[in-house]
Amino acid sequence: MSVALRELGPGEVDVLDTVFAGLSETSRYRRFHGGVPRLSPGTRAVLAAVDGRRHLAVAAFAGDEPIGIARLVSTSGAPAGRAELAVEVVDAWQGRGVGTRLVAAVLALGADAGFDEVVADVLSENGPILRLLAALLPDRTTRTDGPETCVTARLRGTPPMTPSQTSAEVHRAELLAAAQAHRLARAARKRRPRRPLVTTLRPRRVPAVGGDAA
């Protein structure tokens, strides 16, 4: 099954709810730094309030099924400067490159939107996100303070790197395709309000189980 990425529009709460439902307790803990059995209306409203400038998000879909979201939120409220990164992939699709592609796509979107620095506050025990960021942001600064680790990196002029030498060409091609699709999408949005789309990607293999991992 192919995986498609597209920019998330404002108010797409169904996408938020489906991805949240596919996160295990551990994944929710790692994403929200605490036990979150359900999305409160307030949190859902904040997460749905993307505006394409100060709050950008890219979602991944397997067919029609939302399977992950990566977002950048301005830390100053301004549509430039520093943005905070957050990402989640439903458990059934983790370890297949979806998170890497989502983060690469949202970083490209963020750089294009004018952000020049990204910061990610993650749990120090969260190996997957730390490895993912190390692969995509080789020139990052990492500061660990007990259970929390803060990763900071320049965004503009720092093209996302590939996660491994062996898959470098594939990832490079995908990133270029995503960036090109994004430019087209932005141009289209100027003509018409929000025409969703970024690009279509293929995972290396179909997941063993469906999206029902909650």
Ligand X SMILES: CC(C)(COP(=O)(O)OP(=O)(O)OC[C@H]1O[C@@H](n2cnc3c(N)ncnc32)[C@H](O)[C@@H]1OP(=O)(O)O)[C@@H](O)C(=O)NCCC(=O)NCCS
Distance set, CA 35 to CA 13, 27, 51, 178 (Å): 20, 10, 28, 34
Which of 30, 54, 71, 182 binds ligand X (CB under 6 A)? It is 30
Read off the tokens for 75. Answer: 């830390």
Pairwise CA distance, residues 69 & 11, whole Å: 14
Select the span of 40-48, 93-101, 107-115, 144-152 touching ligand X (CB under 6 A).
93-101
22, 66, 97, 211: which one contacts ligand X (CB under 6 A)?
A: 97
Place of tokens 């990052």: 140
**Contact positions with ligand X (CB under 6 A) in 161-190:** 163
| Single-letter code of the amino acid located at 105 | A
Rule CB under 6 A: which of 124-153 touch ligand X? 126, 128-129, 131-132
Can residue 18 be called a binding residue for ligand X (CB under 6 A)?
Answer: no
> What are the tokens at 187?
């141009």
Near ligand X by CB under 6 A: residue from 88, 108, 158, 182: 88
- Per CB under 6 A, does 200 bind ligand X? no
Nearest distance from residue 144's CB to ligand X, in Å?
15
Closest CA to 69 of 54, 79, 55: 55
Nearer to ligand X, 188 or 214 (CB): 214
Looking at residue 84, the DSSP 8-state letter turns out to be: E
CA distances from 19 to 12, 15, 27, 85 (A): 11, 6, 11, 17
CB-nearer residue toward ligand X: 111 or 120: 120
Shortest separation between residue 203's beta carbon and ligand X, angstroms: 6
Binding-residue pattern over the window 109 to 128 for ligand X, x denoting contact by CB under 6 A: -------------x---x-x
> For residue 144, what are the CA distances in angstroms to 87, 122, 127?
19, 9, 13
The residue number with the shortest CB distance to ligand X is 99
Q: Residues in the site for ligand X, rule: CB under 6 A?
A: 27, 30-31, 86-89, 94-100, 122, 126, 128-129, 131-132, 163, 204
